[in-house]
Amino acid sequence: MNASGSAFAPVVVTRAEASDGPLSSQLRTLGLEVLLWPAVSVAPASGHSLERALSRIAEFDWIVFASRNAVTAVIRWLPRLPDRVRVAAIGRATAQVLKSRGFRVDLMPNEAHAAALVDAFAAQGCAGARILYPASSRALPTITQGLTQLGAEVRQVEAYRTEAAPLDANDCRAWIDRAVIGAVTFASPSAVIELERALGTSHFARLLSQAKVIAMGPTTARALAARGKTAVLAESATLSGLANTTLRLLQERT
């Protein structure tokens, strides 16, 4: 039993959220102690590209959402879509946010990652379609390149910025030096990159060697693999899947 009353070693949450955020709350509900180390933050997009694109939304056949942050950014300017514009979403969480705001979801791949979305479009065909993709400032080229190769005309616009978050790196390093962390969770490649930058390569490598490492999707797992760590993939690419997998791994460890 640790100081917080949990039977398990603490879990690091690296995604951008407050102490009562969805992943932290789910982990606590499962009886786990949470160390909140938000390595990234989400900020409004720079410039007005998103506004301009949305003002011409009727010219598009599809709009693609890869995250809940993109949904939030779009809804700020466009609370409704024209009936003719179809919606594609990556992941159940993104789809649920869309549906809760009255948007239908016409296409959602079975797996929650960009390559699966491209495959889903390939299966039904999208040659000649005009597709709007409101994306993170750090979005990988998978969606835009993949859909373009299928013959679609893709307009990718910055919907929000993913930035490094201020982190008390000395406190984080002190936890690592104590070697008491049970698991660390990553929900995006940006969190991997920024946590390594904040901690320094040596402490980041020690953290990954000491703790169970769980990635929410294959893109995040690849970012960790590039740093020499094979992460465990969450049972589903959702925050619930990330939390449940973390609990299972800690239970196996005891």
Check residue 16 and give its pLDDT: 87
Percent above pLDDT 70 for the chain? 97
Q: Is 34 in the same domain as 86?
A: no
More confident residue, 78 or 184: 184
Q: Is 15 in the same domain as 113?
A: no
- pLDDT higher than threshold 60 for residue 3: no
Query: What digits encode the pLDDT tens for the residues 103-148?
Result: 999 999 988 788 899 999 999 999 999 999 999 998 889 999 999 9
CATH of the domain at 113: 3.40.50.10090
- Global pTM reads 0.79
Token couple for 57: 């939304």
Q: How many domains does the chain have?
A: 2
End residue of a domain, out of 100, 132, 162: 162
Q: What amino acid occupies position 232? A: V
Q: Is the dihedral of CA 31, 33, 39, 44 positive or negative?
A: positive
Which range among 36-50, 82-96, 191-205, 216-230 has the greatest average pLDDT? 191-205
Q: Is 158 in the same domain as 169?
A: no
Residue 100 lies in a domain: yes
In terms of residue numbers, what domain contains 223? 11-39+165-253
Check residue 217 and give its pLDDT: 83
End residue of a domain, out of 143, 162, 181: 162
CA dihedral 105, 107, 109, 110 (to 10 degrees): 60
More confident residue, 154 or 16: 154
Q: Is 107 in the same domain as 207?
A: no
Q: Of 117, 113, 78, 116, whose CA–CA distance to 98 is shortest?
A: 78
Q: Is 80 in the same domain as 67?
A: yes
Q: Is 145 in the same domain as 204?
A: no
Q: What is the mean pLDDT of residues 209-235?
A: 93
Q: Is 63 in the same domain as 105?
A: yes
- pLDDT higher than threshold 60 for residue 19: yes
Q: Is 221 in the same domain as 140?
A: no
- pLDDT higher than threshold 80 for residue 100: yes
Q: Is 143 in the same domain as 222?
A: no
End residue of a domain, out of 144, 162, 180: 162
Q: Is 54 in the same domain as 151?
A: yes
